Each structure stands twice: as C-alpha cells, then as structure tokens.
Amino acid sequence: MPDPRPVASSWSARALAFADRFVRPAAAAIDREDRIPDSIVRALAHEGFLGLGLPPEWGGSGGTMSDTTSVFETLSAASAAVAVTLSVHLSVCARPILRWGTDAQKEAHLRPLARGERVGAFALSEPGVGSDSAGLATRYRRDGAEFVLHGTKMFTSNAVSAGVVLVFATRDPSLRGPGISAFIVPPATTGCSVAQRLEKLGLRGSETTELVLDDVRLPADAMLGPEGSGLKVALSALTGGRVGIASCALGVARAAFEEMLRSARARDPEGARGRVAEAYAELASARALVREAAELMDAGAPFVRAASVAKLVASRAAVSIASAGVDLAGPEGTRVGHPAERLLRDARVFPIVEGTTEIQELILGRSLLDPNESPNAY
C-alpha cells in the first residue's frame, strides 16, 4: 500500500530542519531587536538556500520553483523576516541577473550571489514612487565610458547587507518607461550609501532602507539588459517575485492557522469551529494557488495571472487568519510578544510589498477582460 501522505521534497525537509534549528528559536528576538543575526545568514548560505533554484553552472544549488516556494513557506512560518530576505535576494536580484545578464555579469555578480558569498537587493521604489514605477526620478547619464547615477531609493530591502543592488534609473523622466534602464550596483561604490534604516510595523529584522545614489560612477558593463529595457527587467522580476512573496505570506498564514488551533483548543473549541473552518478554506485556497503558480514557472508556461492571484489570495489569507487568530487568543493575543500579535503585524505587510492588492486586481482585471492582453505580457 503506498503511503498516502505527501512526500516532502528534500528541499522542504531541509528547510524544516533548518527552521527548527536556527530560525524558530530566534524569531521573537529577530522581531524585538529588528535584526537577523549574521549567523543565520551564514547558515542560509552554508545550507545552499542563497543559491536555491539557481543553476549549478553559475554556483547555484539547483532545485525548482516548487522547491523554492516550499522553502520560503517553511522558513516564513518560523520567521517571515528571514524568508523575505531570502526571497528578495533570489527573486528580484539573482534571478533577473540570470535572465538578463551577460556571461561576464553572471560571472562577476550571479556566481557570488548563488554561492551565498553576497546578498542581493532590488531598488525600484523611491520617495513617493511605488506602484507607478514608470514615474521614477533617479537619473543616469553617460560620462565617457561610464554611467553616473543620481537619486534616492526608498524601502530597499536587504540594502545594508547587500553586495549587489539592482538599481533602476531613467535618462529622462519625461520618457517614463522607455527611459528606464537597470544597473548592477555594488553598494560599496563611492557615492552609494544607506541614509536611514526604516523601522516597520512588521517583517522586523528584514532590513528596509533609504538608499542614496550621489553621482555613483559605474563602468559601461554595469547596465543589465539593453538600454531602455529597465522597466521590463523590473516588472518581470516582480512577477516572479510575487510567487516568492505569496509563498512567504502562505507561511505566515499557516503559522497563524496553527496558532489559532492552539488557542481554540485551549479556550473554546466549539465556539471557534466557524472561524477555524473559514481560516482553513482560506489557507487551502492560498496553498493551491501558490503551488499552481510555481508549477507553471517550472513548466516554462505563462504565469503572470497565476502569480497575481496567488499573491492577492495568499496575502489576504495571511491578514485574515492572523487577525482571527488574535481574536481567538483572547486578550493575551493583543500583548506584545504573543505569537498571534507578531504574526498579525508580519501579515499586514504582505498586501503592500511587490505590488499592492489593488495592483494585483488591476493586472488580473486587465488580463481577464482584455482579449488582446497576453497572459505573459511582462
């Protein structure tokens, strides 16, 4: 008789062992102190998680997107900050370099990222520029064989620790999208500095910073992809990133559901039946959508719609289940340091990052209603 239980992939089994050993015991301190210990980042590198889903020929650990999402979910159920740090590194820094980079750029930047020797970051948002990324104001100009970047980026995750930041800049803001190009920026470059670290409601420990580019001089080979294709690079990175962020949200939803079960069993199992059933339905829907999006990516099929609906539903599920979890925990659930309280704060950030809920609705609505819209438009 075959065992009817799902067989854990070796990556998900490794993630569970890693989360139990390194992440779960540190999660409350990560939130309280707003810092992920370097030892955890080193352990992520040592385990090969910083190269997950990247090809071994470029120093990566191999593995599929389905493996990657199961690792994100498992780590996020222990600490969303740790999972989001990994998701940003892989989804919106390393993978775009894999997709758009020349062999020389991959050798110089992807290999150290994939080996876990450097952490990656992605700097698109600016003060007052988020959803409408075509309106960004950071400028670049050519100066002989060099590019010079000037401007300010906001809400850049991982920037304090990063060894590689993908920066998006325009040669002329009036051109909007077609004016934008992508650059690979080592943050140690003169003129590049973290101006402030932003303290947040949730995902505390995941660094979020203001990044200042004060006439940062870059060599000609710092441009990623053809000139003028920066918005395409950014949007394609964010589409894949959404599947990663959806799986991080799913991890928080799962942890909140487990916490909710503990509270309900301890306090009022009969009274909690309806809330628990509703939460279970939300969790199961989110899980199915995240898996579908990852499987489409693995199959090389269009996944724009699947990524948006997975991100929309998983981030809503995280907020809804975590909120119900605080209710079912009773007054204790509102106390700072209670697991239900941290999960609700972490959950609340997911509808905003890597494309807000309203932006997912716009993408979905457009793709569902416009017969000319390709599902793989980005």
Ligand X SMILES: Cc1cc2nc3c(=O)[nH]c(=O)nc-3n(C[C@H](O)[C@H](O)[C@H](O)COP(=O)(O)OP(=O)(O)OC[C@H]3O[C@@H](n4cnc5c(N)ncnc54)[C@H](O)[C@@H]3O)c2cc1C
Site for ligand X, rule CB under 6 A: 88, 122-125, 130-131, 155-157, 200, 203, 208, 349, 352-354, 356, 358-359, 362
Sign of torsion, CA 164 166 167 172?
A: positive
Smallest gap, in angstroms, from Cβ of residue 263 to ligand X?
A: 27
Of 101, 319, 359, which is closest to residue 238 (Cα–Cα)? Answer: 359
- 118's tokens: 């450097």
| Residue 354 appears among annotated catalytic residues | yes
Is the CB of 203 or the CB of 326 nearer to ligand X?
203
Q: Which residue is nearest to ligand X (CB)?
A: 130
Nearest residue (CB) to ligand X, 323 versus 356: 356
DSSP 8-state class, residue 126:
B
Minimum distance between the CB of residue 204 and ligand X, rounded to whole angstroms? 10
Residue closer to ligand X (CB basis): 203 or 264: 203
**CA dihedral in degrees (35, 36, 39, 43; nearest 10)?**
-170
Closest distance between ligand X and the C-beta of residue 107, in Å?
A: 25
Are the beta carbons of 182 and 231 closer than 8 angstroms? no
Shortest distance (Å) from residue 170 CB to ligand X: 14
To 10 degrees, the CA torsion angle through 285, 289, 291, 293?
A: 180
Token pair for residue 268?
Answer: 């009022």
Distance CA 121, CA 183 (A): 12
Region of 48 please: left (phi>0), alpha (psi -120 to 50) or beta. Answer: left
Give whole-number Cα distances, 146 to 97, 122, 141, 220, 227, in Å: 20, 21, 8, 5, 14
* CA 362 – CA 304 distance, rounded (Å): 12
12 vs 138, which CB is nearer to ligand X?
138
The rounded distance, in Å, linking the Cα atoms of 100 and 26 is 36
Closest approach of ligand X to the CB of residue 357, in Å: 6
For residue 311, the minimal CB distance to ligand X (Å) is: 12
Nearer to ligand X, 119 or 264 (CB): 119
Instruction: Residue 3: count other Cβ atoms within 10 Å of its Cβ.
Output: 6
Q: 55 or 173, CB closer to ligand X?
A: 173
The catalytic position among 57, 207, 354, 373 is 354
CB 240 within 8 A of CB 307: yes
Which residues are annotated as catalytic?
354
